[in-house]
Amino acid sequence: MFLNPEERLLVIRALQKVIETQPPYARFDEYKQLLDRLKGEEPEQTIEESPIDIDEV
């Protein structure tokens, strides 16, 4: 996937939010696989340090 570090953090946070707030459905496994893959990439900044609040986006 071709994302810069800021975009990758935003996608990770969005996927986490979807997984946490939505009931299980057909695409859950796909979202979880993508989330795990993105987390496995070496981000320059940790999710906790991210200045982006997904609830404000």
Choose between 26 and 3: higher pLDDT. Answer: 3
pLDDT on residue 11: 85
Using DSSP's 3-state secondary structure scheme, residue 19 falls into helix
pTM for the whole thing?
0.53
Name every residue whose Cβ is closer than 8 Å to that of residue 15 and which is 6 or more positions away in sequence.
31, 34, 35, 38
Q: What does the pLDDT look like over 9-56, one tens digit per residue?
A: 888 888 888 888 877 665 778 878 888 888 887 655 555 555 556 566
